[in-house]
Each structure stands twice: as structure tokens, then as C-alpha cells.
Structure 1
């Protein structure tokens, strides 16, 4: 590690501790010496100047809070002495869309091997979906899942069940408690792909949810849009849809939403309505036959070369820490810039975590119309949160705060780094589809799974998910690449983390070098050469957003 502290932006009046620092330590940075007036844990911040009560704290070059009492140079910032504050924003006629386009000759002629669809999109995987129009059909999905997954070779080996079986055998053979405690129960894994009946199909995914009826009609319409996003997704070959018949989320609405996203939709789509068919036995029998026929058609798809411009990356963070905004997030921000320069698309979401950086993003919109839409969505979202007795300032979780993200503005300024520096080509409301290459803003909650679910519905074929504390989040149809902000986390939870960017904190790698490494990894994932941890563990998180207040 080259430095013990870091100033993120030259205009900041705080320094970030890169390692634990003690009260009385004198640290040097930029030719200045700072005596610490309290212990400062790694990832937390201390002041570089005296501040009087009400003075502004600047980090990432923007306002992130105001001090609640007089503080001295070397004081550590805490939730007790710093409160959230953010700059206001307005729509300007001036567009600031110039950016430093990165050098991409290294990837100019590179391709990835993906699944080509009739609408011109290219998937990084090939899944079949079983989709309920309403929660009443969830049990029928469970029945289909039990009937299909294991026999078709998609049942993942349960290491723990195998271990339990061995321990049961030992006990029945006379083993006592001490024998069980000291037993070696390693189970050799089988090659799962070799057991598949349909080798070109990556799996059957069951999108169970608790919506479709009750609530308000807009909830049902929005759900249909989300489900249509998955059915038309490049990573999906086709779908079986189960409808009860009387629910708010009517099949006709789903079909309209599909047509919005793909006017010439031609994937195999089987729709079964239980109230029309009759008995459960007849419904299940017909569902099995049609799903098997669909899988046979899906298996005809094979990976073929495609340009990198066909990749769409979703940008996500969860379980963030004080290093996320200075290692993992800027690194995938550079990856984003590289892909945009190559003609690809990226999605920056989580609107509650853009609080305080609205002006920058608004100014980067390619048109005033897009800037106004972004401002409107942000203001409406925050207003609804406040009406519910909350607000964007209540976004940081206990884990965020413990690890240095003590105001929403600090968290947001670091989270926005995921979007790189390229212009914003379009602002989308949930669950609209990405149609333009470049950086897209998508209105979603900050909630990890709701936001990831939404990004995939909008077209993300790979998701880059940064974390400082560790989270297993995945998705049913899109590989979610997990990136740690620090090496300690990577070493501790390397069963769910794919990439370590703690190398940036340790001075072993620049942000640009890490971003380039990540793009190479994305290409390998998109080609099916690497199976990410979330896919390997079958982490199929899927939570539709009902458009209520969710931070």
C-alpha cells in the first residue's frame, strides 16, 4: 500500500483512511501533515481543516454533508457530527457531453460468442422461462419445477445433502457424536453439464412473484412490462406462461408489452389459462408437453461470434463500504466507458443513490428533454419517499454506515462512479427497455434485488455488481459478476466474489488497469467460458418493484 490515506478529489476537505489509524498518529499527504484527534477506522474519513457548525463537507468534489458542531482538523466524521446535505439541481440549456473517450484499439476486433436472436440482439446465455401471470399460479410452478429440473439434468448437486447422507450412514453404522464431529465428509462434485438432456439450454427458470392481482391496476400493468422484458430478453429462448384467468395482470396486457419491445416477436411462447383448461392434471400435462417442445426448439440455438457492441451491462452495487466509491465503482465506471466507446450499452440505475450528483448527470444528458425527464423522476421519487415519512437521506444501511458511508450523499457520490464519464443517451422509467447504445439511466430503487431485476428486464445481458461487505445476489437469466472493493472481503468470501478490485486500494493496479481487466472478464462470461459464482450457486433472485417507496 503506497499511502495510508487518500484524497479522492483535489477540492475535498476530507481524507479517507486506507488502513486503521490511531489517535495521535501524524499522517502525511500532499505535503501536509495531519494529527489525528481520534481513532479512524479504515474506510472512514477525517477533516483536513477546521470547520464551524453548519459548514460544508466536500468529498468527490461535491457537497456530502454539513457538520453539526465545531470540528477541528484531524477530527473523524461520524453520524453524530455530520448530517446529510446535497447540492440542489436544475435543468440547464447547456449540455456537457464531451468526455475523454478511452483508447479501445485493444478490443476493436474482438468478439464474443453469444446466442443470436431474430430481433438482432445477442444473448450471453440461453434460458427457457416459466412465468406466472399471478401469484395464484406459484404452486403450479413448483410442481413443474419438481417434475422438470432434475430429470433434465439441471438439478445442481447439493453438497450439503450429500454430506448429510454420509453422516446418517455413519450414525446408522454405529458412529457416536465424537465420530460425527471428526468425520471427513468431502463429496466429489459431478459434471452437471454432461447430464443435460438439452446441452445448448443453460436452464429452465421459474419467475415466481407475489403480484398480478390485488393492489392497483398500475401494479399489474407494470408487472406485465417487467415480465415482457424477460420474455423478450436476449438471454431467453422462449417461455411458458401460466395464467389463472381472472387476475388484473391479463395475458392481453402482457402481449401488448411484448409487442412494445419486439414488434415482430417470434420466440416460442406457450400460454395456458387454468380456468379455461380445467383440472390441474390437464393444466400440468399440457404445460409439460409444451415446455418440452419449447426446450427442443431452444436447444437448436448455438453460440456464434458477435461484436462487443451487442453487450449490454447493468451496473449495480450492494453491501457497499467506504472503499466502493474509490476502487470497485470507478473501475467498472472505466469498463462502462470502454464498452460505450466500442458501441455497447450500459445501464446506471438506483435513483435514491444518485442524490447529490443529479446536476452532473442532468448536464450529461444529450438533450434537454432527457435532462428534464431525469429531474422529474428524481424529484417525484424523493417526494413520495418524504410523504411516506422517509427520504433519500435514510438510504444508507447499518452496514453502509459502519463501513464509512455515513450520509446518503457520500454513498451516492461513490455509487455514481459506476456510470463512468460518457454522455447520458436516454433516461428510462421502470421497466422500459434500452434501445440506444451508450449510457442509459433507469429509474429503480436502491434495493439490490429489485434494481438488478429491473436492469435485466431493460436488457442487461451481464450485470457488474460491486460490494464492500459481501452479498450473494444473482439473477435467473443474466450472469451477475460480483466485484469486491477490498482484498479482505475477496479472501473471506471468495466463494461468492468473482473479481477483486482491492488491488487499487493497495496500489498494485490503477483504476484503468482494473477496468480493462474487468472488460476482458465480461467478454469471457458473455462467451460462456466463465461461470460466475451467482450462476454456479443457482442464486436466482427475482423481485418485481411495485413502484411504492423502496430505498
Structure 2
């Protein structure tokens, strides 16, 4: 029989509804019976005791809010009766012991990847075309038009035929009402992609952005660091850089950031400056020729076996719901622990979504210096947000709230489950790169794309992205694996979901079993045996964080 409710932690005074619970229905949990004062929708929580104004609400064993007014036992918590609250935190004792999972099944496993001269191993092989400043975006788009289709990296334009059919209907005299009533479910003229000229190159990616000039010098430095993270990334074979010449983000700054990340950088890197070359036609012609020559060189690289310790996995969540923190997030948390035990690296970011669990995470840092840096970054970030009239308490989106994430602390406590239980080996500020195996904390916004962009710049060669509502997000160079927190989502949006962890909610699988299944899937993706949905759809999302207030 399917379990209807779940008390996540023994100290909690709320219980999660795993299915819709009718009003006045008696609900049992661990020998106690609760009578509901109202209907509790699935993913939402009800109180186990009467709460007076100001009383704490606890979930995941931590403070997640305080009652705005009296709340009767068996009532649903909501934004009307609960306000955000989180416990204070400070530098504490080191608590780095953890339950190391059994890894015997994976000890001899490998993945087939691209070995780089710096010792890293890529799960893909891409060429990058990057503007140093937004003024060069148009020239980058010209290069995309010139290279993508002819090299076999263009995607079928399945909706082009749909537009043509609508044009035909309009020219035939059909009214707007008649056109809206026409059945266009069968998409005509889907077309096929050309065959790849370079079979060992997964694609040429064009990283458009709106930075490089006009902001602060710190923004320019951070942009160069981010771009250097992509250029030195294990999934990148080489890059073509277009510079205007007069912008804040100078080529010398980019080269400095590249050297920070790889002192012996040896990949093909072509840099063209428009103000020196002169004519746009000369710039574009030189860029096409040099890029093509670089692709010929990069195509010589082939996949070969690598240990799982060479995997660097980014941990991300977006479009979260009330099940994310009890299915998908803890499942990839177990995957995280498995990979750390095997000597690999994982990245937990989204600092606004760690609000309320700062004490636990700082205590898990392996040194006091690491813990101090985490505390400083969290406090300074929240202070910047508060200074402009915002704060971490304003992080939950309307979709989060509608599906049971009432306060930022509730959202954060569930989001932190992505990091498993292993010690924190390093704390990184944006846009630093991972150099230590184990669990790395990376300061980024909670914004899905800004955070994923930064995780990949930090070295993630695969990203595990959990969602409860459905988020079609990807990355230009790293496979982003989408995991549904609930089975209904997996069935409703199968075109963007790769893995369903709603099996945990359904009672068909434990968190540990799901975590093991996820690692098996990661190995297939890392070896190029499986193509994730975000890659199939060409979901190449890339947003630079300018270090302003973004939640």
C-alpha cells in the first residue's frame, strides 16, 4: 500500500502529504493519529500540534519558519500563516564524520572520455566561439550561420513547416478563428540534419553574452574568469575568441585567468581583434579559416577509458516542488556521496538556497578556514540583497510556493540534500575552479541558468538537475541530466525529463537505490552512450552573473 504521508525528521512538527488528503481524514504516522482541519494537497505540509503566534516550525530537523498567528493541529501551513525564519549560525566544531556508502560495485567501473593535457577528462568534445564583449555578438552569430549547418551541427527545423502551413491557410482566405480551429498536431517538413564532418567533435558552441564593457572592472574580471573556466574545461578542445579591442574585458585579462586555471595551457586558441584587422569581412574570413583548422586538429582526439574519479558533477535544482527535497534531491545527494567515496568531485552552489542550513554545512567543512570562508560569503551575499530591499527570504518563486515550498528555509533545507553527507573539502567564490576532490561549495545565485553556467565554469563535466515543475534548461558544453521529483511530471513532460525519481514517492524505490541508478546513468552519459534531452533539444543556456543581487 502506498504511503500517504511522511515525517522527514523526528524533530519536525509538520508532516508532508504524499497524496491529496481530504478534510477530516484521520492520518496515521508512527502510531499517532492526526485529524485534518482542511484538505491538504499533495506536496504540502500540515502541523502536528497547535501552534501559537511566534512558535517555531521545524522541518528536516531545522527551523524553517514561525507562525504568524494561531495554527490548529492538522492545518496546512501556507504563506498566510507562516513566515520565514532561520537559525543563526557561527563558526562551530568540525563535524566531518559521515556514512561512507559501499562502492564495490563501481570500483572497477570506468567511463570513456576525452583525456586532456592537464589531467582532466571530458565527457564531451566541443569547440567554442566566444566574444570578449557584447559588441562582437553579431559577428559570432555570423560565424554560427557560416559554420553550424555546413559542418553538420545544425538541428532539424521541425516547426518551419508548421509556419508555412499557416501562411498557406491565411493566403487561402481563412479567418483567424478558422486558423485557430485547424488541427496542426502533425508537424510537416521536419527535415533532417546534415552528417557531421568531424565525428569526434560534438559541436561548435557560441557563447553570447551582454558583458565585457560598460560595467565595473570587477564585472570584466569575473567575466574573463568565467570564460577562462570554459576555455580550460575538460569538455572543450579549443576556442576562437573575437575581441573588439577597446572593451574593459581585455584579452590580457582573459589570458591571465586562463593561466590561473591551467599554467601549461596548450589547447588551440585563436584570438582575433576587430579594431586591428579592420574590415568585418576580413575578421570573419580569418575566424572561419582558423576555426576550421582547429577543428581538424581537435577531431584527432578520441574517447578512452577513465576512472570515475575524473567525474566532476554539478548539483542543481530548478522549478522545485514540495517533493524535491524528499525524492530527487536526496537521491542525487546519495549519488554525490558515492562519487566522493570514489575520489570524484561534486559542486553544490545556489547560496541563497542554503539559508537555514549554514550551521550544518559550515560544521561539515574540513577546516576552520574553509568554514570561515563559507560563513563570510553567505553573510556578505545576504547583506547585499538586504541593502537593496530584498533578502534570501524572497527567494521562493510563485511556482515553488504553489507546490509546497512556503519559505526560503523550507526550500533551502530540501535543496541542501543535493550535497549528500560528505565533508566539505573546499569553498569557492564565483567564478573559481574546482581543484579539490570531494564536496565543493560554490557561491552562485539561486537562478538556475546563472548557477549552472558557473558550475560548468568551475569544472563540472556533467550536471544533475532536479525539478518538480519541469525546467527545460541545459548548458552549451556539459550534459545536463534532468531528474523529475514526481512521476506525474515525468509522464507529463517526457521530452525534457531523463530520470524519474518519483519512484521514491510512489514507494517503488529507496533513496539509495535511486542514487545508484542515477550513477549508472551518469556513466553512460559521460561515455557518450546516451544523449540527454537538453542536448537533443540544443538547450544551450548561458548567463553571466555580474555579482549584483540575483536570487
TM-score scaled by structure 2?
A: 0.97
Cα shift readout 1:187-234 (whole Å, capped 9, x = no counterpart): 586764x70111110001000000000111000000000000000000
- Structure 2 distance, partners of 1:408, 1:180, is 43
The answer to whether the aligner puts 1:26 opposite 2:19 as a matched pair is no
The aligned counterpart of 1:185 is 186
The aligned counterpart of 1:514 is 514
- Structure 2 distance, partners of 1:418, 1:4, is 24
The aligned counterpart of 2:121 is 122
**Match of 1:523, SS?**
helix
Contact 2:157 2:190 in 1 (8 A): no
Contact 1:422 1:439 in 2 (8 A): yes
**Match of 1:440, SS?**
strand
The aligned counterpart of 1:303 is 303
The answer to whether the aligner puts 1:162 opposite 2:125 as a matched pair is no
Residues 227-242 of structure 1 correspond to what in structure 2 (within 5 A)?
Answer: 227-242=227-242
Contact 1:239 1:270 in 2 (8 A): yes
What is the count of residue pairs matched by the alignment? 549
The aligned counterpart of 2:138 is 139
Contact 1:316 1:452 in 2 (8 A): yes
The aligned counterpart of 1:83 is 83
Contact 2:158 2:191 in 1 (8 A): no
The aligned counterpart of 2:222 is 222
Cα shift readout 1:368-420 (whole Å, capped 9, x = no counterpart): 00000000000000000000100000000000000000000000000000000
Residues 263-412 of structure 1 correspond to what in structure 2 (within 5 A)?
Answer: 263-412=263-412
**Match of 2:382, SS?**
helix
Please state how far the C-alpha of 1:172 moved relative to its aligned partner. Answer: 8.1
- Structure 2 distance, partners of 1:242, 1:164, is 35
The 1:185–1:48 alpha-carbon spacing in structure 2 relative to 1, beyond 3 Å, is: closer
- Structure 2 distance, partners of 1:80, 1:424, is 36
Cα shift readout 1:335-373 (whole Å, capped 9, x = no counterpart): 000000111000000000000000000000000000000
The aligned counterpart of 2:98 is 99
Contact 2:362 2:371 in 1 (8 A): yes
The answer to whether the aligner puts 1:202 opposite 2:166 as a matched pair is no
- Structure 2 distance, partners of 1:169, 1:404, is 46
**Match of 1:130, SS?**
strand
Please state how far the C-alpha of 1:27 moved relative to its aligned partner. Answer: 0.9
Please state how far the C-alpha of 1:69 moved relative to its aligned partner. Answer: 1.0
The aligned counterpart of 1:548 is 548
**Match of 1:46, SS?**
strand
Please state how far the C-alpha of 1:516 moved relative to its aligned partner. Answer: 0.3
Contact 1:430 1:443 in 2 (8 A): yes
Please state how far the C-alpha of 1:168 moved relative to its aligned partner. Answer: 5.8
**Match of 1:38, SS?**
coil
The aligned counterpart of 1:148 is 147
- Which moves more between the two structures, 218-227 or 67-76? 67-76
**Match of 2:142, SS?**
helix
Please state how far the C-alpha of 1:298 moved relative to its aligned partner. Answer: 1.1
The 1:188–1:490 alpha-carbon spacing in structure 2 relative to 1, beyond 3 Å, is: farther
Cα shift readout 1:73-93 (whole Å, capped 9, x = no counterpart): 11110101100000111112x
Please state how far the C-alpha of 1:50 moved relative to its aligned partner. Answer: 1.3
TM-score scaled by structure 1?
A: 0.97
- Structure 1 distance, partners of 2:173, 2:37, is 63
Contact 1:22 1:39 in 2 (8 A): yes
Contact 1:166 1:185 in 2 (8 A): no
Contact 2:161 2:190 in 1 (8 A): no
- Structure 2 distance, partners of 1:251, 1:208, is 17
**Match of 2:105, SS?**
helix
Cα shift readout 1:54-73 (whole Å, capped 9, x = no counterpart): 11101000000000112221
Please state how far the C-alpha of 1:2 moved relative to its aligned partner. Answer: 2.2
**Structure 1 alignment gaps of length 5 or more:** none
- Structure 2 distance, partners of 1:100, 1:242, is 49
The 1:203–1:24 alpha-carbon spacing in structure 2 relative to 1, beyond 3 Å, is: same
- Structure 1 distance, partners of 2:185, 2:49, is 58
Please state how far the C-alpha of 1:270 moved relative to its aligned partner. Answer: 0.1
- Structure 2 distance, partners of 1:541, 1:503, is 29
**Match of 2:283, SS?**
helix
The 1:117–1:278 alpha-carbon spacing in structure 2 relative to 1, beyond 3 Å, is: same
Query: Moved runs in structure 1, 4+ residues, more than 3 A?
Result: 162-180, 182-192
Cα shift readout 1:301-353 (whole Å, capped 9, x = no counterpart): 11111000000000000000000000000000000000001110000000000
The 1:425–1:166 alpha-carbon spacing in structure 2 relative to 1, beyond 3 Å, is: same
Contact 1:123 1:461 in 2 (8 A): yes
- Structure 1 distance, partners of 2:206, 2:382, is 33
Please state how far the C-alpha of 1:185 moved relative to its aligned partner. Answer: 3.5
Contact 1:170 1:180 in 2 (8 A): no
The aligned counterpart of 1:56 is 56
The aligned counterpart of 1:424 is 424
